[in-house]
Amino acid sequence: EALAWAVGEVTAQEIDKLNILNASLLAMHRAVAQLKLRPEHLLIDGNRFRQPAQLQLHRLSEDGKSKATALQSGLPDDYPEIPATTIVKGDGKFLSIAAASVLAKTYRDDAMLALHEQFPPYQWNENKGYPTPAHRRAIAEIGSSPYHRLSFRLLDEDDQLSLF
């Protein structure tokens, strides 16, 4: 039985500015910040974790060489550093991580269904945001939505690697 759970979100624009790793770490902290109970220790699925002070919450300047403005983390000023352990394939080793994975996936799938209602041509009800051929065609035909990451490069099918 879970004592508390929460889901942290980042926007497509934040992912574009921070990169997928830093944005994922920020989403983790946003989830923890929403919890009604403060955890004593975090179990993290994977091999990377950074405390909030270590997050790289800067976007590159226009020249692409130097850091410019800091982005808002959305974390409370008194957000504490919580000890954490990373566990590769943790969802297969700890029920709490497996449950968190299911909650996150279910939340994301529901979000994609809601987005499909707003933007049916992208077929998010079927592809859940993954770059299927039909999804790529929709982007090519009507352009991207505010929910698409501009930093995610979709290869033309002719540019795909082939094993044979």
> Which residue, 64, 66, 70, 73, is CA-closest to 25?
73
Give pLDDT tens digits along the chain (164 positions).
789 999 999 999 999 888 899 999 999 999 999 999 999 999 999 999 999 888 877 655 555 555 555 567 888 888 889 999 999 999 999 999 999 999 999 999 999 999 999 999 999 999 999 999 999 999 999 999 999 998 877 655 554 443 43
Structurally, at CATH architecture level, domain 12-156 sits in 2-Layer Sandwich (3.30)
The CA distance from 82 to 103, in Å, is 22
For the chain, which residues make up each domain, given as ranges? 12-156
Report the 3 state secondary structure along 73-90: CCCCCCCCCCCEEEECCH
Tokens 């109970």 locate to 37
CB atoms within 10 A of CB 22: 21
